[in-house]
Structure 1
Amino acid sequence: MEISVPEIESRLPRPLSADERPRMKALLDDAVEYLEVEFQKCGCSLDAALARTPWLESVVRRVIREMVSAAVLVGPNVGMRSASSTTGPQSDSITFADVDSVGWGGVRLTPAQRLDLGLCMPGGARGKFPRPAYWPERIC
């Protein structure tokens, strides 16, 4: 499965600048590697899953496009929630927030994308559950 820079660029709302093209290629490689590792963490191989599941290739392509597009379009503004500037004795303000869709270093896989890919959710069951009862149960 090969995804090219022009395939993603044609879907972006603006053309890429000259310095964004090499970054997008690097992010594409990062996204594919990221997905391969996540499939391995869930006990399977991305290539094997693609071979046995007919719908998975289109979902993987879409998820990779989303991961790379978000990282390229957000760029240096990762985590920025709002920015304001005043000209009159100069005042600047920037508010940052932790965002799930883009990482500081590049691509990130969101929980919604994990579900679309059919991947296990990390961490196992959440909550506190009682221990299983012994069989047969004794009634006294």
Structure 2
Amino acid sequence: MAMSGGRDDGEPMMEMNTTPLIDVMLVLLIMFIITLPIPTHAVKVDLPVNSKTPQNPIDSEKNKVTIAADGAIAWNGSPVNELTLRQYLDTTAGMNPEPELHFQPDPAAKYEVVDRVLAVIKRSNVTKLGFIGNEQYRNDF
């Protein structure tokens, strides 16, 4: 690194010597680079398992529609909305022989949700419908 030697006329040098400052900055930079942890290039990712046969949510013998207390609708244990429920019901109505449909609302479920689901079931022309869990109400009346 170059250092200025001043002028020949004997006047004092008015410039600051930056060489030691640059040297200290370079040493600090090297120390920070050395103390950095070694980056790991392996990233663990849980990938989905590809099954050879697609999962069919419709059982050929019996299917179960449940309604939870919060109003969530489930088809064979997996949550669905009313449109998907209608698609599943239309598929089962066209099967030969038609599978049974078990309907089980939670006792704390709102009547409005139960009524909407029953209307979807009626519009899909399902002929084999059974209410599951009615025995829990036998002592209420």
- Kindly indicate which of the two structures has a greater share of residues assigned to helix: 1
- Kindly indicate which of the two structures has a greater share of residues assigned to strand: 2
- For the pair shown, the structure with the greater C-alpha radius of gyration is 2
Q: TM-score, normalised by structure 1?
A: 0.19
